[in-house]
Structures are given as structure tokens and as C-alpha cells.
């Protein structure tokens, strides 16, 4: 089994900058809590230039410089960044597991064949993380523990054509090299203490006498290329590294210090039984990992259906336009994640935290899944304008129910079809103009109420070619005139007929069926025209509307229709066909329940 580990250095800092891009070049220190005594867990390069270090208290960080901004990464921002990291990983393989905040594990089995090599796959994984706004480090090895260590490799890997591969990086503290010395040509600060419980990540900050050069070096070492540990060389890769990469407990650190063991290779050389005898179960775990096989099973996490992004504001927003500006950024990040998942916006739910502790929720269902932010944002604007929250907004979370964006292949011999992506975008924009319930395909309603229909999601019907040349020719023939007699056979050789039908007088030898004549066509008026009708008993004698009217010269009816009496909206109406003096032939209706007259249509 080949395992890939993805690790995001300074994850709280990167998550906050991903949600608030305005802080990209600001000196920021991320604190673990809101009190002045809470420790700083991550600092930006600009804050490091001002002397701020992880481990300081928030008060000490503020005392270093007035320019330093001490911030706390909100839980919803960190959760959104971690979910975006998972989406980036799932774009390459579905077997993904969350190991820690800002750290993922991937099972590479079966995925290498698709991408050609582990180096190409690791490179795509690194680029996918950058697409969602996170600079990550990637390590690939034969076990979970070694892959995690490879992702945190302190030595800068040697870059090859596609990907960096290191099998046994050297370390300054290994055999003769002095602690604290920087290896020539290294772009990263080496580990200065073998007894440290963890390995400094690639973004670790060290004081630099030249701030400009230090900033350039820190920028270059924010992340490194993928580190690939060849199969079977895990022990050789770990041997020169300090024992701190194994993350031992403080008692185990003290025991290794007493034994004089500072490198992983020294621990792996000891008999496992002796290590277990002195350190217990932890000793077995440490010794297995030092030998390159930690024995931990990989169990992937189940996929998450709903995609979320959220942000909180320092100052509540009371105007719509600034809020829509923030909402556009959230939707853009969601669109990037949905593109990695191969899905689009199907339903968008807004969850607003209002001033005073109240909550406001609203949802918008799209007529077709799409990834176009410019098509989704107008729908949310219309919803907020029609039903405003009623108080300034302190935070917002956007939850998206994804939907599969329909894909279609063009037909070689059929008519051209609209592109699914453009069709979905057009439908969503139409819904923003006229409303989502007014865009779709008409459907017959389960009722006898006149002029009633439903609306279904629109999808162009598939093109079905005609089977057989004979059926195509028969269907392409024009219909015979009404005065002709259809005898059911076509022209044979020697019979001339331009239309393809035999023109013969009716005969008793053939059973003929005259084609029924076409009557007047009713053109429905929508909306209906209110009318004033004068009655003489039960007969209408005059009709007047805003557009037409006159005296009734002929009439037929009434034709009564009733139904839905078992529901809350029953109907009962009388229909009349009337001819008025101006030559119009109208369908006149009387709503017996509402006691109202209206013109339902005009006959052509």
C-alpha cells in the first residue's frame, strides 16, 4: 500500500487568510484563544520580521510591535478550509482520511495508473490544494507514519523533472555535524535540537539579521515539492532524522536521552523486545515506526454531501451591497470546490448570525445545477430584498446541496443540442429574472380545472432517429387535402401525383373515410380579460372589455364545468361562445363562485 500525506503548515493562519484575502500581506499572529495569556500558534512572515514567535502570549506579541494584529481563526473558517482540503484530495482519489487539522491521508492504490506516476499524482495533488487557497506539503511512502514524516521533511528535496524524490536526507545533527549549523545550499532551517518532540515545519521562523533576505527565504520555504520515499527504503529514509519526528511522549524522550539516542536509526538498531520491556506499548509503536512500518491500518472517511463556507465579521454589516461583496467571495470558493467534486450549485442555503444573537435562514433552489457564481448571486439578492434579515449581520454560512452538472455528447447525425453548462446557466439567469417557479417545462396537472398546468425541471428530450427508410418516407409525406379521399396506398409506378397521394374519386369498391374539416382555433388570453356582461335572463346580450366589446349577435352555451369540491380551491364556471357586432368570436366565462365575468379566449 502506498500512502500520501498532505500537511498544511501554519494551518490556522492559512485558513484565516483564505477566508479574508485582505490579510494576505499583513503581520498576523494567530492566538489559541481570546485572552491575553493565550499562546500564539502561528505567525506570518511579516509578523516574524517584527520579532513575533510561536509560543509567545498574545500580550507579548502585541508588545513586540503595534503593527502586529493578533487574531483568532473562527471555527467555521477552519472547518471550511479543512473541508476544501478534503475536496481537493477527493478530486484525485475517493479514499481520504482526516488525520489532524490541516493534515490528510490518501490511499494511492489504483490512482497511480490513472495519472501515470506517483510524482505526477503528487504534483496534481499539490496544485489542487493551491486551487482552494492552501499551500500544502505532500509526502508519499509505504506506511501512514512514514508518509506523515515525509510531508514534514526538514531537508529541502532535490527537484527532478516532475517531482522531488529523496531516500535518505542528511541532517546537521547526525554524526559529527554540529547542532545549529546550516547545511550549504539548504532553503530551510534545520532542526537544532534532536530532543525536540516535533519536527519544525517548513514554514518555521528563525531570527534573521537581514529582514529582506529573511523574508525572501521564508517565502521560498513556505512549502516544498512532494517528497517520495521509494518502496522498501523507509528505514533508510528515517535513519538520519532525529527521534523527535516520531512524536514520542515526554517520558520516552527522557529515556531516549538517557540512552544517548538522538537519531531514528539508533532506535531502529536496538532489539524491539528490549525497547518494549523498558517503554511498554509506546516503545513497540516507536520501534515499528523507526523501522518504517508502524502497522496502522488506513480507514477512509465517508464523503460529505453538503458543502459549507462561512465567515464572521468584526463589525456587523447592515447594508446589502457590502454583504453581497462578501457573499460573492464565499460563492467563488464554493464554486472552486464544486468544480473539483465535478458538481454544481443545486440548492443554496444562507445561515446568518444577526446582531443580538438571532438567526436567519433562507434557501434558494436552482432550476438546474450550475457553477456560475454570476447566475447564483442574483437569486440570493432577490431573496434578501424580498425578505430582509431585519438586523445587521455578524456572520454568514453558505451551505450548498451539490447536484451533478449534466453532461451530453454531441450527435453525429442528429440536430445540434445546447451545451449543458450554458443551458443550465441560462435557466438560472431566467429564474433570477422571473422567479424559479416560472422557469421549466409545462406539465399536465392532475385536475380538470381549465387553464391549469404544472412546471417541471427543463431538460431537452433525447433525439430519437427514425427506424427504417420506409417509415421516414411515410411520415415526411404531406397530408392530403380535405376534398380528397384517402385510400391508404401510395403511388405506384406509372401513377403521377406530385404530393405522393392517389387522387381518385370516391368509389364503392374502396371503403373511404373523409378527412374531418378544421374548425376555428381558440387562442387563449393570459391573463384573462375582465369583462362587463349585460344579461337578458340567462342570455348575454352585450360584452364590454378594455380592448374589445359590442352587442352579442349569436351565442351558444352555457357549458358548465365544476370540480375540486373536495379541496380548499373548488371551481365552478359556465362557458359561452358569443359572436359580437365587430366580428369577434369570443369564449366568455362566468365564475359562479366569484360571480365574475371574463373573456378566456378569442377564436381565430
Task: Report the distance separating Cα 576 and Cα 601, nearest Å.
Answer: 11
Report the share of the chain in percent with pLDDT over 70: 76
- Tell me if residue 248 falls in helix, strand or coil: coil
Statement: the pTM of the whole predicted model exceeds 0.95: no
Q: pLDDT by residue (tens digit) across 535-549?
A: 888 889 999 988 888
What integer pLDDT is reported at residue 67 of this predicted model? 92
Res. 500 pLDDT band, cuts 50 70 90: very low
Task: Report the distance separating Cα 48 and Cα 356, nearest Å.
Answer: 37
What integer pLDDT is reported at residue 178 of this predicted model? 35
Res. 224 pLDDT band, cuts 50 70 90: low
Task: Report the distance separating Cα 115 and Cα 451, nearest Å.
Answer: 57
Which range has the worst mean pLDDT, 198-207, 344-353, 425-434, 578-587? 198-207
- Tell the CATH topology of 3-235: Alpha-Beta Plaits (3.30.70)
Cβ proximity of 466 and 418 under 8 Å = no
Which secondary-structure segment (H or E) carries 5? Answer: strand 3-7
What integer pLDDT is reported at residue 356 of this predicted model? 85
What integer pLDDT is reported at residue 248 of this predicted model? 92
What integer pLDDT is reported at residue 430 of this predicted model? 81
Asked whether residue 204 carries a pLDDT value surpassing 50, the answer given is: no
Asked whether residue 113 carries a pLDDT value surpassing 70, the answer given is: yes
Asked whether residue 481 carries a pLDDT value surpassing 60, the answer given is: no
Q: pLDDT by residue (tens digit) across 341-379?
A: 888 898 999 999 998 889 999 988 877 788 888 888 888
What integer pLDDT is reported at residue 575 of this predicted model? 92
Q: pLDDT by residue (tens digit) across 118-173?
A: 888 888 999 999 999 999 999 999 889 999 999 987 433 332 333 344 333 333 33
Asked whether residue 564 carries a pLDDT value surpassing 60, the answer given is: yes
Which secondary-structure segment (H or E) carries 99? Answer: strand 96-100
What integer pLDDT is reported at residue 31 of this predicted model? 94
Backbone angles phi and psi of 277, in degrees to 5 = -65, -35
Asked whether residue 191 carries a pLDDT value surpassing 70, the answer given is: no
Task: Report the distance separating Cα 129 and Cα 224, nearest Å.
Answer: 13
What integer pLDDT is reported at residue 7 of this predicted model? 93
Task: Report the distance separating Cα 570 and Cα 448, nearest Å.
Answer: 11
Q: Among 40, 39, 30, 42, which Cα is nearest to 72's?
A: 30
Which range has the worst mean pLDDT, 57-66, 274-283, 448-457, 577-586? 448-457
The domain limits of the chain are 3-235, 306-463, 522-603
- Tell me if residue 284 falls in helix, strand or coil: helix
Res. 6 pLDDT band, cuts 50 70 90: very high
Asked whether residue 184 carries a pLDDT value surpassing 60, the answer given is: no
Asked whether residue 70 carries a pLDDT value surpassing 90, the answer given is: yes
* HSE value, Cβ hemisphere, 13 Å, CA-based, for 309: 24
User: Which residues are registered as beta bridge partners of 566?
Assistant: none
Which range has the worst mean pLDDT, 51-55, 113-117, 333-337? 113-117
| Mean predicted confidence (pLDDT) in 73-83 | 92
Which range has the worst mean pLDDT, 1-5, 22-26, 112-116, 273-277? 112-116
Res. 517 pLDDT band, cuts 50 70 90: low
| Mean predicted confidence (pLDDT) in 37-51 | 93
Q: Work out the mean pLDDT of the chain and round it to a whole number.
A: 78
- Top-confidence residue, 174 or 405: 405
Q: Is 420 exposed, middle or buried (0-12, 13-18, 19+ CB in 10 A)?
A: middle
DSSP letter for 132, please.
T
What integer pLDDT is reported at residue 350 of this predicted model? 93
Asked whether residue 222 carries a pLDDT value surpassing 80, the answer given is: no
User: 306-463 is classed in which CATH architecture?
Assistant: 2-Layer Sandwich (3.30)
Asked whether residue 292 carries a pLDDT value surpassing 50, the answer given is: yes
What integer pLDDT is reported at residue 510 of this predicted model? 41
Amino acid at each position: 500500500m502506498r500512502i500520501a500525506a498532505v500537511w498544511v503548515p501554519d494551518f490556522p493562519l492559512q485558513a484565516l487568510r483564505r477566508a479574508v484575502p485582505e490579510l494576505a500581506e499583513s503581520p498576523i499572529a494567530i492566538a489559541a484563544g481570546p485572552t491575553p495569556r493565550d499562546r500564539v500558534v502561528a505567525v506570518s512572515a511579516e509578523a516574524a520580521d517584527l520579532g513575533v514567535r510561536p509560543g509567545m502570549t498574545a500580550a507579548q506579541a502585541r508588545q513586540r510591535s503595534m503593527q502586529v494584529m493578533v487574531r483568532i481563526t473562527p471555527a467555521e473558517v477552519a472547518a471550511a478550509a479543512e473541508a476544501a482540503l478534503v475536496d481537493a484530495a477527493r478530486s484525485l482519489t475517493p479514499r481520504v482520511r482526516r488525520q489532524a487539522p490541516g493534515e490528510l491521508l490518501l490511499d494511492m492504490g489504483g490512482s497511480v495508473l490513472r495519472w501515470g506516476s506517483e510524482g505526477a499524482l503528487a504534483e496534481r495533488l499539490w496544485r489542487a490544494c493551491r486551487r482552494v487557497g492552501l499551500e500544502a506539503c505532500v509526502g508519499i511512502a509505504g506506511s501512514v507514519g512514514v508518509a506523515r514524516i515525509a510531508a514534514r521533511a526538514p531537508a529541502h528535496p532535490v527537484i527532478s523533472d516532475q517531482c522531488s524524490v529523496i531516500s535518505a536526507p542528511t541532517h546537521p545533527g547526525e554524526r559529527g555535524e554540529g547542532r545549529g549549523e546550516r547545511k550549504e545550499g539548504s532553503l530551510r532551517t534545520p532542526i537544532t535540537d534532536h530532543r525536540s518532540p516535533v519536527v519544525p515545519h517548513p514554514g518555521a521562523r528563525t531570527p534573521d539579521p537581514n529582514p529582506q533576505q529573511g523574508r525572501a527565504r521564508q517565502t521560498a520555504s513556505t512549502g516544498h515539492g512532494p517528497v517520495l520515499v521509494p518502496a522498501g527504503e523507509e528505514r533508510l529514509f528515517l535513519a538520519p532524522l532525529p527521534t523527535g519526528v516520531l512524536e514520542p511522549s515526554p517520558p520516552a524522550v527522557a529515556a531516549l536521552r538517557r540512552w544517548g539516542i538522538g537519531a531514528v536509526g539508533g532506535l531502529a538498531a536496538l532489539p524491539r523486545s528490549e525497547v518494549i520491556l523498558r517503554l511498554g506499548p509506546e516503545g513497540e509503536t516507536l520501534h515499528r515506526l523507526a523501522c518504517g512500518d508502524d502497522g496502522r491500518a488506513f480507514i477512509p472517511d465517508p464523503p460529505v454531501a453538503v458543502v459549507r463556507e462561512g465567515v464572521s465579521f468584526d463589525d456587523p454589516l447592515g447594508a446589502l451591497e457590502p454583504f453581497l461583496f462578501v457573499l460573492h467571495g464565499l460563492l467563488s470558493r464554493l464554486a472552486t470546490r464544486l468544480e473539483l467534486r465535478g458538481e454544481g450549485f443545486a440548492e443554496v442555503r444562507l445561515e446568518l448570525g444577526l446582531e443580538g444573537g438571532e438567526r436567519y435562514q433562507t434557501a434558494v433552489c436552482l432550476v438546474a445545477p450550475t457553477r456560475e457564481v454570476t447566475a447564483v448571486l442574483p437569486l440570493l439578492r432577490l431573496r434578501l430584498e424580498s425578505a430582509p434579515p431585519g438586523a445587521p449581520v455578524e456572520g454568514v454560512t453558505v451551505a450548498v446541496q451539490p447536484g451533478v452538472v449534466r453532461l451530453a455528447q454531441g450527435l453525429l447525425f442528429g440536430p445540434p443540442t445546447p451545451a449543458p453548462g450554458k443551458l443550465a446557466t441560462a435557466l438560472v439567469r431566467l429564474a433570477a429574472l422571473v422567479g424559479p417557479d416560472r422557469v421549466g417545462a409545462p406539465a399536465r396537472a392532475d385536475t380538470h380545472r381549465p387553464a391549469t398546468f404544472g412546471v417541471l425541471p427543463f431538460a431537452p428530450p433525447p433525439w430519437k432517429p427514425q427506424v427504417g427508410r420506409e417509415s421516414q418516407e411515410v411520415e415526411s409525406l404531406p397530408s392530403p387535402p380535405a376534398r380528397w379521399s384517402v385510400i391508404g396506398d401510395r403511388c405506384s409506378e406509372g401513377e403521377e401525383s406530385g404530393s405522393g397521394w392517389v387522387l381518385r374519386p370516391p368509389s364503392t369498391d374502396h371503403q373511404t373515410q373523409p378527412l374531418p374539416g378544421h374548425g376555428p382555433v381558440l387562442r387563449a388570453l393570459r391573463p384573462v380579460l375582465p369583462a362587463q356582461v349585460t344579461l337578458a335572463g340567462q342570455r348575454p346580450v352585450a360584452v364590454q372589455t378594455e380592448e374589445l366589446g359590442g352587442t352579442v349577435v349569436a351565442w351558444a352555451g352555457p357549458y358548465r364545468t365544476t370540480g375540486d369540491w373536495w379541496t380548499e380551491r373548488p371551481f365552478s364556471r359556465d362557458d359561452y361562445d358569443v359572436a359580437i357586432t365587430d366580428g369577434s368570436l369570443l369564449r366568455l366565462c362566468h365564475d359562479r363562485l366569484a360571480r365574475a365575468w371574463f373573456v378566456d379566449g378569442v377564436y381565430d
